[in-house]
Amino acid sequence: MADEKDLSSPNYYSTASGAVGTVMMVNAARKGPKWLRYLLYTFAAITALATTAGLIDKVTSVGSLPACDAQTTRDTLSDLNRDNKFNASKYNFIKSVGKTDSEVTCMASLALKGGGNVEYDYRIYKEGGSVKVKITEIRR
């Protein structure tokens, strides 16, 4: 049974696609009437600000402990669920049980495709230079 895994890295694809979208809007704004240029420049500025804010958030959270239901935690749990051969359809709930500076303790309920549920406790903690997720107890 696989019960421990390094936390998945954050997904930077949305940041890259935001930057590409901004460049495409600026290029499109160079051609066309004056009102369209101003409109597209405004949209490009808004997209650039949102992309920059998202990038800053991802960079500042590197090395910190994520929340129980953060996307990187869910991605890591999905890998562990697959390794443990849980045929999951969705999470019924994910909740935080406790939190300290060095560890976050969580509980999740997983609905199975064939019917039934699996509940498990897991913890998110730092070990060495990496952040890990470990399933501590499974209840069927």
pLDDT at res. 8? 64
pLDDT at res. 128? 79
Largest pairwise CA distance in the chain: 64
The residues spanned by each domain of the chain are 4-8+63-139, 13-60
Confidence of residue 105 (pLDDT cuts 50, 70, 90): very high
The pair of three-digit structure tokens given for residue 80, joined into one six-digit string: 């562990």
Chain length of the chain: 140
Computed over every residue of the chain, the mean pLDDT equals 84
pLDDT at res. 2? 62
Query: What is the number of alpha carbons within 13 Å of residue 41 lying toward its C-beta?
Result: 9
- Is 0.95 topped by the overall pTM? no
pLDDT at 62 exceeding the cut of 90: no
The string of DSSP letters for the chain reads: ---EEEPPPP--HHHHHHHHHHHHHHHHHTSS-HHHHHHHHHHHHHHHHHHHHHHHHHHHTTTSPPPTT-HHHHHHHHHHHHHTT--EEEEEEEEEEEE-SSEEEEEEEEEETTS-EEEEEEEEEEETTEEEEEEEEEE-
pLDDT at res. 10? 67
